[in-house]
Amino acid sequence: MTILFYKLLLGIIVGSLIGLFSYITHFLTKSGAFAVIFIATIVCGFGIWPTWGLLILFFASSGCIHLTKKAIKMTKDESIVEKGHTRDAWQVLANSLPAIVSLILFYCTENQLFLIGYISGIAGATADTWSSEIGILSKNLPCSILTFKPIEPGLSGGISVLGSIASFFGSLLITLAFCLMYSWYPVSQLSTHLFIVVPLTCGVFNSLVDSFLGATLQTKYRCLICGQITEQPLHHQKQTKKISGIFWLTNDWVNFFSGCLTVLVSWILIFYLQ
Ligand SMILES: [Zn+2]
């Protein structure tokens, strides 16, 4: 019990540092920073130290990419996406909750299947964040994942070569970092290659599912003034017209559902491959 208390306390401290860094770099809003403190507390309390490392790596790497883009003024128009590029609490929770649930299951059962679910979830969140942060810088227009026709940069459902490469490397970073940290642990029920193959695949899978749900089910609007397709219900302070998708299914829900699916697929893969 005492150990859990100290781990939770450490989580609050680590979470505050990540939150502060992410807030200063404008990667997160104030509510987003508080969500990080909550998540870091749970990960530190219920996880082993390599799982804390992954969380730090996810926020530090995404924050650094965000900061670099700002420093060299590579940020683009925010009039398409629903909330702009600074992430709030809902975005943080939608991205990380599925992984957190898997980690708590690992704490309760000590079954490494759930540990891989956590790594896959974080790999997916990193892959998705990197692909949207870096993919939007692509010189070529992204294509719709459904029709392969060019669409507006930044609009959900688009894929680009640059974004896909970024997504792969985001997933790879998390996977390799975990293997490196976990190699210090003497006991493992599962073979090492499962710790590499499953999270790496699931991370990239997360980006694809995210784009697919973004293209099909996510709500989209057309601005009645400039005609642009957007994810914002208001454009130029005027109500936009809904043209597709389910009205409550925002980008946060898409992130949450693709995260859930990613973690679920990783459990199924481990279940059959082990
Ligand atoms: Zn407009």
> What tens digit of pLDDT does each residue of 158-215 get?
899 999 999 999 999 999 999 998 888 766 778 888 999 999 999 999 999 999 999 9
Q: How far is the CA of 81 from the centre of ligand 1 (A)?
A: 12
Q: How far is the CA of 183 from the centre of ligand 1 (A)?
A: 52
Q: How far is the CA of 60 from the centre of ligand 1 (A)?
A: 34
Check residue 165 and give its pLDDT.
Answer: 96
DSSP E strand stretches across 94-188: 143-144, 158-159
pTM for the model stands at: 0.91
Check residue 98 and give its pLDDT.
Answer: 96
Helix (H, G, I), strand (E, B) or coil at 222: strand
Question: Given pLDDT bands bounded at 50, 70 and 90, which one contains residue 75?
Answer: low
Which segments of 48-88 does DSSP mark as H helices, in order? 49-71
Check residue 1 and give its pLDDT.
Answer: 66
Check residue 228 and give its pLDDT.
Answer: 85
Q: Is the pLDDT of residue 68 over 90?
A: no
Whole-angstrom Cα distance, residue 139 to residue 150?
12
Q: How far is the CA of 152 from the centre of ligand 1 (A)?
A: 13
Check residue 115 and give its pLDDT.
Answer: 95
Question: Residues 231-269: pLDDT tens digits?
Answer: 888 888 888 898 888 889 999 999 999 999 999 999 999
Domain that holds residue 156: 2-273
Q: How far is the CA of 47 from the centre of ligand 1 (A)?
A: 46
User: When comparing pLDDT for 135 and 127, which is higher?
Assistant: 127
User: When comparing pLDDT for 234 and 84, which is higher?
Assistant: 234
Q: How far is the CA of 149 from the centre of ligand 1 (A)?
A: 22
Check residue 183 and give its pLDDT.
Answer: 82
The residues, any chain, with a CB within 8 Å of residue 36's CB and separated by 6 or more, are: 15, 18, 19, 22, 28, 59, 92
Check residue 155 and give its pLDDT.
Answer: 84
Check residue 79 and give its pLDDT.
Answer: 66
Q: Is the pLDDT of residue 152 over 70?
A: yes
Our count of domains for the chain comes to 1
Which segments of the chain does DSSP mark as H helices, in order? 2-24, 30-46, 49-71, 89-109, 112-135, 161-182, 192-216, 251-273
Q: How far is the CA of 70 from the centre of ligand 1 (A)?
A: 25
* DSSP state for residue 111 in the 8-state scheme: -
Question: Given pLDDT bands bounded at 50, 70 and 90, which one contains residue 102?
Answer: very high
Q: How far is the CA of 155 from the centre of ligand 1 (A)?
A: 14
Q: How far is the CA of 224 from the centre of ligand 1 (A)?
A: 7
* DSSP state for residue 262 in the 8-state scheme: H
Q: How far is the CA of 221 from the centre of ligand 1 (A)?
A: 10
Q: How far is the CA of 174 from the centre of ligand 1 (A)?
A: 38
